Amino acid sequence: MVRLPAVRLLGIDPGLRFTGWGVIEVDGNRLRHIGDGVIATDSAEPVPSRLKVLHDALTLLLEEYRPNEAAVEETYVNRNGAATLKLGYARGVALLAPALIGIPVLEYGAKTVKLSVVGTGGASKDQVQMMVRRLLPGATLRRADAADALAVAICHAHHRASRLAWAAGSRMA
């Protein structure tokens, strides 16, 4: 069996007010916490200024941590159309920043993330945080947004491993 090199994955939980981010390293089936945090924007500022803050901060994170791949949580649609639209703006920036420097970006729905990390798509925020702490000792998790971003990265790690195994199996057939 061929051993793959370790990779760094960036998980992003987009939001216009708070965008969570988390970086993990995956080596085989081992996960290692590298960093996590939250990018905050000032709600008193106009949306374009807030999007620039988000883009600039993500660009700095990409330069500092140099992930090989990124994963972004998909937008859920809620009853407040304006809030959903603003979340979409932030998500667009979260998808664009890594793509601009050639990093592959994948997307996962919230239920898929929860199922991958906790084992049930209906897990609570507390359950997600508890499992992230268990899977990634040393994670600071100052806000739920950072835990959610690390959960996105963990979800991507699991799905990535499955995709690679399937690809290897299909090449051998």
Whether residue 126 lies in the annotated active site: no
Active site residue 36: no
Beta strands in the chain (DSSP E): 7-13, 18-27, 30-40, 69-73, 105-108
**Residue type, position 66, single letter:** R
Whether residue 27 lies in the annotated active site: no
CA quadruple 109, 112, 117, 121: dihedral, nearest 10: 110
Q: Which of 36, 69, 145, 148 is catalytic?
A: 145
Marked catalytic residue, from 13, 25, 36, 69? 13
For CA atoms 106, 110, 112, 115, give the dihedral sign: positive
Q: What are phi and psi of 165, to 5 degrees?
A: -65, -40
Q: Which of 36, 69, 73, 148 is catalytic?
A: 73
Look up residue 151 and give its DSSP letter. Answer: H
Helix (H, G, I), strand (E, B) or coil at 140: coil
Distance CA 47, CA 34 (A): 30
> Which helix (H) or strand (E) segment is 55 a member of?
helix 47-65
User: Would you please indicate which residues are annotated as catalytic (active-site) residues?
Assistant: 13, 73, 145
